Homo-oligomer: A and B are copies of this chain.
Amino acid sequence: MQYAHQLEFKVRDYECDIQGVVNNGVYQNYLEHARHEFLQSHGINFAEITAAGIHLVVIRAELDYKKSLASNDLFVVRSLLRRVSRVRFEFQQDVFRLPDETLMLAARITGTSLNQQGRPFLPEMLAQLFSDEY
């Protein structure tokens, strides 16, 4: 697997719940932050494009939970972006614990961008991230 981006994290204790492990919902926070850093690494700042009226939105999330991250764990989110239709793109995002590289979560996040009228479109700056033709 060739990933296009990776970002390291450390579990923070407030992210853990009664079961003593990272709460299910928190993984979506990790994935979102990794996506935004990925975009930032290509010169696309999420807050700025939001202020400019371009709304990146998630339309589908699939998350396969393999093992649970726990207090003090280090991990990395590795991401890959591909275009799946004229106006839709998909992030494949996998979470590996460090340093043992155990796969903890495998996710596919499908998104699109909406203009000010709420209509899907793909702005040029995003289109340049994809090699595929549509």
Chain A residues with CB under 8 Å of chain B are 12-14, 16-20, 23-26, 28-29, 32-33, 36, 40, 45-47, 50-51, 55, 57-65, 68, 70-72
Contact = CB atoms under 8 A, between A and B. Distances in A.
Contact of A25 (B19, B28, B60): B28
A33 B58 contact: no
Copies in the complex: 4
A66 B61 CA distance: 12
Nearest to A25: B28
Task: List the 10 closest pairs (A to B, CB-CB), nearest first.
Answer: A25-B28, A47-B71, A12-B33, A61-B63, A24-B58, A25-B29, A14-B29, A16-B18, A62-B62, A13-B36
B47 A70 contact: yes
A29 to B, nearest CB: 5
Given A60-B64, A60-B65, A63-B61, A71 B18 contact: yes
